[in-house]
Amino acid sequence: MTAIATVILAAGAGSRMKSKMPKVLHQIAGRAMVSHLLDTVSTLNATKNIVVVAPGMDDVRAEVAPAQTAVQKEALGTGHAVAAALPDLEGFVGDILVLYGDTPLITAETLRTMIEARRASTGNAVVVLGFEPEDPLEYGRLVTNEAGDLEAIVEFADATDKEKSVRLCNSGVMAISSEHIEGLISAVGNENAKGEYYLTDIVSIARSKGLTCKVVKGQETELLGVNNRVQLAEAEEIAQERWRKQAMTQGATLIDPKSVFFSHDTILGQDVVVEPNVFFGPGVTISDGVRIKAFSHIEGATVGVKSQVGPYARLRPGAALGEKVKVGNFVEVKKASLDDGAKVSHLSYIGDAYVGAQANIGAGTITCNYDGYDKAKTVIGAGAFVGSNTALVAPVKIGDGAIIGAGSTVTKEVAPDALMVERASETQKAGWAKRFRAMKARLKK
């Protein structure tokens, strides 16, 4: 087995994104593009993974840590970017996979195919991953000979009309033998339409040295390059499509898959049913037999076996639902644990709280967890019954089995099994309404 090293190019300005944020930090399914690539290459057991960044890209460094980074001092082109990683590859013997940080959808399987093709013959100095996109846009074009071997890559800006008519395009992914990489990269010049050192030139350079170059063909759904926000949305759509299929293959029912949005790390158990129009942000785990009803927004939350969430529920980070919990419509839960069988069925805010098993929280109950400066906790005991429209002013504790009368504002600890009611006394005047109406009717005459 030959060793593998990967070089991920991420130093470009990404000007077509029209963003203050580096291009590779833009997210697909809630994860930075460059991190998707690192996840994929992590399965290859590479000796080294080097991410090439520009000076000052501390946020990219932080995102990719603990992966090693190399600094390309000026963005002078993709060939120049690979050159910036060469000192870190000194002494490395094996295959070097070059990946572009803006091509995040590639799979490990395709990368393995590339490496196999590189190893198939020692003469193949470079293997390039090509594809035939529906619209070849401004991708570099792959020029092949009769045998199907690669002769050159022509960048769109430098291509003749004939070359532009070639449908086979460069994905940017290359496998290069360590034996040749230095010689090839150092020969790259910048006399072209953009005045850049193109990595793509190494193919014609290899050919001029009598080395052979191969093309492996891949799918557009893996190789779409993200240069602007339209392509970012296209990549998102492809990723979502993958996650939906995976969820269904693993035993979840999505009634309307196209309207359900996942994050890269969403975990759904078996026999989970997700109704239409549900959004999963990062950090969600849903256990077996849960039903997520329509129009719910869930992030950073865990939901226990056979619970029901929604419709129109919002689970925010730190929401932890036990088994058979019910969180109903227009309920927001944040940083709160709801123990087995607890019910919050309508119109509530439960934040910084613990709700014991089988407790019932009435409609319109609010945990008043914030005084404008600090957050405080509400603890509701097992089997407690909180009447509708109750304000629980934290920090406050309600004992197991206590009952809170509807409309109360609770500021003091309630003992277990006690009844607590905070309410002005009711007055009733017999016949008053009838007399009132009669008086009004007289005045209107």
Binding site for Mg ion (CB under 5 A): 102, 225, 227
Task: Give the nearer residue to Mg ion in terms of CB position, either 27 or 253.
Answer: 27
Task: Give the nearer residue to Mg ion in terms of CB position, either 172 or 351.
Answer: 172
Q: How far is the CB of 43 from ligand UD1 (least distance, A)?
A: 21
- Among Mg ion, ligand UD1, none, what does residue 40 contact (CB within 5–8 Å per kind)? none
Instruction: Read off the tokens for 180.
Output: 């040749």
Task: Give the nearer residue to ligand UD1 in terms of CB position, either 136 or 283.
Answer: 136
Q: How far is the CB of 120 from ligand UD1 (least distance, A)?
A: 24
CA-CA distance, 113 to 111, in Å (whole number)? 5
Instruction: Read off the tokens for 116.
Output: 């196999």
- Among ligand UD1, Mg ion, none, what does residue 101 contact (CB within 5–8 Å per kind)? ligand UD1
Torsion, CA 131, CA 135, CA 136, CA 139, rounded to 10: -90
Say if CB 266 and CB 248 are below 8 A apart. Answer: no
- CB within 8 Å of 294: residues ≥ 6 apart: 275, 276, 277, 278, 310, 311, 312
- Among ligand UD1, Mg ion, none, what does residue 169 contact (CB within 5–8 Å per kind)? ligand UD1
Sign of CA dihedral 37, 40, 41, 42: positive
Q: How far is the CB of 81 from Mg ion (least distance, A)?
A: 12
| Structure letter (DSSP) for residue 414 | B
Identify the H or E element spanning 267.
Answer: strand 267-268
346 is catalytic: yes
CA-CA distance, 120 to 276, in Å (whole number)? 48
Q: How far is the CB of 228 from ligand UD1 (least distance, A)?
A: 10
Q: How far is the CB of 241 from Mg ion (least distance, A)?
A: 21
Task: Give the nearer residue to ligand UD1 in terms of CB position, either 166 or 248.
Answer: 166
Strand 273-274 and strand 48-53: the pairing is unpaired
CA-CA distance, 19 to 131, in Å (whole number)? 28
- Among ligand UD1, Mg ion, none, what does residue 200 contact (CB within 5–8 Å per kind)? ligand UD1
- Among ligand UD1, Mg ion, none, what does residue 72 contact (CB within 5–8 Å per kind)? ligand UD1
Q: How far is the CB of 295 from Mg ion (least distance, A)?
A: 36
Q: How far is the CB of 226 from Mg ion (least distance, A)?
A: 7
Facing residues of 68 across strands? Answer: 50
Say if CB 141 and CB 156 are below 8 A apart. Answer: yes
CA-CA distance, 410 to 368, in Å (whole number)? 10
Task: Give the nearer residue to ligand UD1 in terms of CB position, either 76 or 368.
Answer: 76
Which residue in the list 26, 180, 297, 346 is annotated as catalytic?
Answer: 346
Say if CB 101 and CB 23 are below 8 A apart. Answer: yes
CA-CA distance, 315 to 44, in Å (whole number)? 36
Half-sphere exposure of 185 (CA within 13 A, CB side): 22
- Among ligand UD1, Mg ion, none, what does residue 155 contact (CB within 5–8 Å per kind)? ligand UD1
Site for ligand UD1, rule CB under 6 A: 9-12, 23-24, 52, 72, 75-78, 80-81, 100-103, 139-140, 153, 155, 169-172, 198-200, 225, 227
Strand 297-298 and strand 396-398: the pairing is unpaired
Task: Give the nearer residue to ligand UD1 in terms of CB position, either 196 or 275.
Answer: 196
- Among ligand UD1, Mg ion, none, what does residue 77 contact (CB within 5–8 Å per kind)? ligand UD1
Q: How far is the CB of 134 from ligand UD1 (least distance, A)?
A: 15
- Among Mg ion, ligand UD1, none, what does residue 76 contact (CB within 5–8 Å per kind)? ligand UD1
Task: Give the nearer residue to Mg ion in terms of CB position, either 103 or 365.
Answer: 103
Alpha carbon separation from 248 to 29, 245, 290, 301 (Å, rounded): 17, 5, 14, 20
Sign of CA dihedral 423, 429, 435, 439: negative
Q: What are phi and psi of 58, to 5 degrees?
A: -65, -30
Q: In the complex, which residue's CB is closest to Mg ion?
A: 225
Instruction: Read off the tokens for 307.
Output: 């619970």
Task: Give the nearer residue to Mg ion in terms of CB position, either 225 or 328.
Answer: 225
User: How buried is 1 (Cβ within 10 angstroms: 0-12 exposed, 13-18 middle, 19+ buried)?
Assistant: exposed
Question: What is the set of active-site residues?
Answer: 346
